[in-house]
């Protein structure tokens, strides 16, 4: 990307960036907030800035610092170029709070217009804000004029800028009423009936910091939701924790325990291991502790619940064995993410080993800590672009991974949605699920349609090799290995049905059935 375009809308839609996205197999980019925002006073005093932009002031204007000239023209052009490349654009939008902060914050907009209407106030002391967001104030969408403003803003970005959808930051706040979260809240009802927004993709961050704020699985059927249960389970599993195969099996098959209701499909869950908030994938396997000293809060900010594993050394190292293990675990996480049913979300930069030096809350770091470092493109073993491209091709090849139908086991006619298998290729029984400290999981996803191939997936998070058998099925004479995360370059290997092989320590494998 040309130096003058870096950090701008034009940089995102530059030919080299689009080529990179296409190589990865990306179909949609989700941008952090691009609405006009201001820097918090407390950050300015520390000579820092609100790098992520979650401090919105203007809900109808793109942020000027992301453009060289006219911001609106620049953004609209970028959306058009991405669309020409077959890539959708979604916006992360912050309607849950504004840049005005708490009662000590500046009067910039809504506070001066109608403070009591735009914000939730403490009923017994309306000088203070009811803060469900942790940002000083909470926007009150139960008021019709406030709701109208948000709906007008959403329609503007769809109709004028042609964005394809939205990810709603702290979405629980948007659906709050006097008694907490309400699935029939005015905002959710307005979205459902709106002719412009009915076709937009809607993704909720389904929690806030208020009472009853955690609402994963509770949003209406037209919504998708960030699935933090997937993140937690897969982080724990690949960091070495045992006795998780039951949990992992649910997360790899769409999290039916969370989303199988009200006509929802696996696409209700947005699976992710890393996002902007938290460790990058490289840091997840390089640090056991957060290192947020640069944020000026004495390392108190950011989550302490990371389920990370530094593989034996905190931070960068030249130890070849540790470096190799970290790369292997990154590949395993990416492989699982793209083999799992549900919508996969990848953090930009994870494909090239981007690091934030252990900072898991880089919201105020507009510098080398927070920027995506592309140096990994030139480091042997760190550039996983081709690997992710291989995984997205597998995802296209096997439509059952992208299924809209919840899985079942053996059916009366002998067909199946999923078969859970022991290492000896027998169907799992209750005692197999309760295997002490179990770290091995193997299963077959049946063909989506007659004539299509099944896919046999093996996850081995154990620190040792585990021998296993390929499933013996009359209709499939052989199994073709289409993935082995231990391989530097993927090789096609054929195995006879019922034959034995082994899964290397901490590896993911996949096989296609062949008649």
Active site residue 39: no
Radius of gyration of the chain (CA): 24
- The span from the CA of 367 to the CA of 49, in Å, is 10
- Are 167 and 92 within 8 A, CB to CB? yes
- Are 165 and 198 within 8 A, CB to CB? no
In the 3-class helix/strand/coil scheme, how is 264-329 assigned residue by residue?
CCHHHEEECCCCCCCCCHHHHCCCCCCCCHHHCCCCCCCCCCCCCCCCCCCCCCCCHHHHHHHHHH
Active site residue 169: yes
CA dihedral sign, ordered 493, 426, 477, 496: positive
Paired residues of 88 in beta bridges: 28
Catalytic residue among 169, 225, 283, 351: 169
Catalytic residue among 30, 40, 205, 382: 205
In the 3-class helix/strand/coil scheme, how is 381-437 assigned residue by residue?
CCCCHHHHHHHHHHHHHCHHHHCCCCCCCECCCCCECEEEECCCCCECCHHHHCCCC
Please provide the size of the chain in residues.
515
Q: How far is CA 316 from the centre of its chain?
A: 25
Distance between first and last Cα of the chain: 47
Task: List active site positions.
Answer: 169, 205
């Amino acid at each position: 990307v040309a130096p003058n375009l870096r950090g701008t809308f034009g940089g995102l839609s530059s030919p080299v960036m689009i080529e990179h996205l296409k190589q990865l197999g990306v179909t949609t980019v989700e941008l952090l907030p691009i609405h006009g925002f201001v820097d918090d006073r407390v950050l300015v005093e520390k000579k820092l800035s609100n790098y992520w932009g979650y401090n919105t002031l203007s809900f109808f204007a793109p942020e000027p610092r992301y453009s060289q000239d006219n911001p609106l023209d620049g953004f609209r052009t970028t959306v058009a170029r991405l669309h020409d490349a077959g890539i959708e654009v979604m916006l992360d939008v912050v309607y849950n709070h504004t840049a005005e902060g708490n009662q000590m914050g500046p009067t910039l907009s809504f506070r001066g217009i109608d403070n009591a209407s735009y914000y939730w106030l403490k009923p017994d002391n309306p000088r203070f804000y009811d803060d469900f967001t942790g940002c000083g104030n909470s926007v009150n969408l139960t008021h019709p004029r406030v709701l109208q403003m948000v709906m007008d803003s959403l329609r503007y970005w769809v109709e004028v800028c042609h964005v394809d959808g939205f990810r709603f930051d702290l979405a629980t706040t948007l659906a709050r009423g006097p008694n907490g979260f309400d699935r029939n809240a005015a905002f959710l009802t307005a979205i459902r009936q709106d002719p412009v927004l009915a076709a937009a993709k809607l993704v909720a961050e389904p929690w806030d910091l208020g009472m009853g704020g955690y609402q994963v699985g509770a949003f209406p059927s037209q919504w998708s939701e960030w699935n933090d249960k997937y993140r937690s389970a897969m982080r724990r599993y690949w960091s070495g924790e045992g006795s998780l195969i039951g949990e992992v099996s649910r997360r790899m098959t769409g999290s039916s325990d969370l989303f199988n209701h009200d006509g929802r499909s696996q696409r209700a869950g947005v699976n992710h291991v890393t996002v902007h908030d938290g460790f990058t994938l490289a840091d997840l396997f390089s640090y056991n502790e957060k290192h947020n000293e640069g944020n000026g809060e004495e390392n108190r900010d950011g989550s302490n619940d990371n389920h990370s594993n530094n593989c034996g050394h905190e931070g960068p190292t030249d130890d070849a064995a540790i470096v190799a293990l970290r790369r292997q675990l990154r590949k395993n996480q990416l492989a699982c993410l793209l083999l799992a049913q549900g919508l996969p979300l990848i953090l930009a930069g994870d494909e090239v080993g981007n690091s934030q030096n252990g900072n898991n809350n880089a919201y105020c770091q507009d510098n080398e800590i927070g920027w995506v470092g592309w140096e990994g493109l030139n480091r042997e073993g760190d550039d996983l672009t081709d690997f992710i491209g291989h995984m997205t091709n597998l995802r296209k090849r096997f439509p059952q991974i992208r299924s809209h139908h919840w899985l079942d086991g053996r059916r009366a006619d002998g067909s199946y949605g999923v078969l859970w298998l022991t290492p000896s290729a027998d169907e799992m029984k209750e005692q197999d699920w309760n295997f002490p400290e179990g770290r091995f999981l193997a299963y077959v996803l049946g063909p989506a349609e007659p004539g299509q191939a099944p896919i046999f997936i093996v996850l081995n998070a154990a620190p040792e090799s585990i021998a296993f058998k390929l499933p013996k099925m009359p209709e499939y004479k052989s199994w073709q290995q289409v993935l082995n995360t231990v391989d530097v370059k993927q090789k096609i290997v054929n195995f006879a049905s019922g034959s034995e092989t082994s899964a290397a320590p901490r590896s993911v494998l996949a096989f296609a059935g062949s008649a």
